[in-house]
Structure 1
């Protein structure tokens, strides 16, 4: 019986969360508390309510005593926030061969998409330590369906078992696989984009840099959702939003200690992509940041550096949202609204490359 109760717990917690989010706005505001305003921004009610419910359960941040416990925590959270699988998307399991072993992957396409299309190679977030294909399944379904593209989600190796640059090596191998097998994946070698959130955004940016500098087929677009781009410097947003907004300052220190325990490696531009000597000629970038996010300022610094180097950039701050909001779309309307804007921009960027 205890095993049954334990298995049902995430489902029951998810049902309770959805019931709270379905309440009338005045009741949701009463539960969430007074509006939170910081740095000239006001936190979205949906985000504040989520954080309040998280606090009531005793949770704070993503780090844990061990990587295994942190991964279990994210898996539990995914079960709570995930709804029924988004319909209208065909999903196929894949395996990407690399010199270090096969990488699990998933290929998503809209059900009504039968012709060739751009392909987005997607790297999940999670501080290079947590996250997997399941944690980002809803997001990849949403991107495929509403951007009208194929998405290849990659389950790269995680730290601390596999430290820097293992995740990047896998990310590069996955991108090369997509280019080399584009026709079989339903795309073309010159229509491959890269994207990711948080640590995955870091990997996508690094792949864009490495492939451009190597003279190979560079991506047509880099989608960087609240990316980690500089492991060497603490910016103002790390202080302003250090605690209480899902991703904490402690989380970032813990993640980096797992992925790059040798602090000398943190100056490597393959990890701190903002430190690259040359950003010219990189693919068009869409950089998304959140107002209440410790990583906000470094993401915006990277967008500016790209623009200063002549790279076409769309930089969008969602001033009322928190780090990780793309993973909790099924919970609150505000998260889904922002995601619709993101996929609209991605679709436009991919369409404009043909002009």
Structure 2
């Protein structure tokens, strides 16, 4: 791999990348795929098993989970195979197919995150009206989150840009070369995606966190006489700390996972047709942030109070069942080991 000539079409796309970097990237991708799949399948299994979790708002969370799992299948797994083997192994036609599907699923995940944040925001601001009109609007918005990304694929269907394999992404992505029309079109699409999928949800969650903190301070300071709380607490409660941890985790997932990839994509399109380029390992460092969001999303959903309580109930039930089984087996072993005493009648009469 030392004598790498990019003009040679038989050269590996990773010819400039050290072997140990590819090994670390393969291990990282495999760990993300395994852990994310376990998290997503756990959530899906819990929702199917527990009727308490089958409420209307859960459809939005399931949209995020399903899109994440499909991204693992159609984006992460081909990337892992490409990094491990050193090249794209599925042919040109499959490159176009996987590129289109990956672009669609990533757009769907961002739209679903926007719908999820809007749903939580509506529940906080309109708690009494929410149950009445949430069912129709949740179905409409969730359907829109899966239909709207199809419109973003129209430029590809009309031949504006093509999907080619890029070693830095380990996947087939859109390539505009030096076509400025294609560049402007896809930069506008990327911008709309990042606004709807990251900036809008972060803004809504920030407003929700501030509202919840203000309401809690009002309650602590005795603004509601029926609660009979006359003075604020001197410190942060465990509930406040959990709320802050969740809020920071959401910001990290939405911003650090999406913004670097957005700026990378825009920079790549800007440098297209020039002699400047970004090294493969530079792409990998940034794209790894995006891969991490696939794991952070199920972790955030599992932190949901209803899901965490369902997991706790299942574990407590299995623990009590194992204890009961152990006690029954102990009683059986003790009854078998205990000698059987037979009391024979005695004759007390004298001869």
Which of the five TM-score ranges fits, normalised by the shorter chain? under 0.3
Whose helix fraction is larger, Structure 1's or Structure 2's? Answer: 2
Q: TM-score, normalised by structure 2?
A: 0.28
Q: Which has the higher strand share?
A: 1
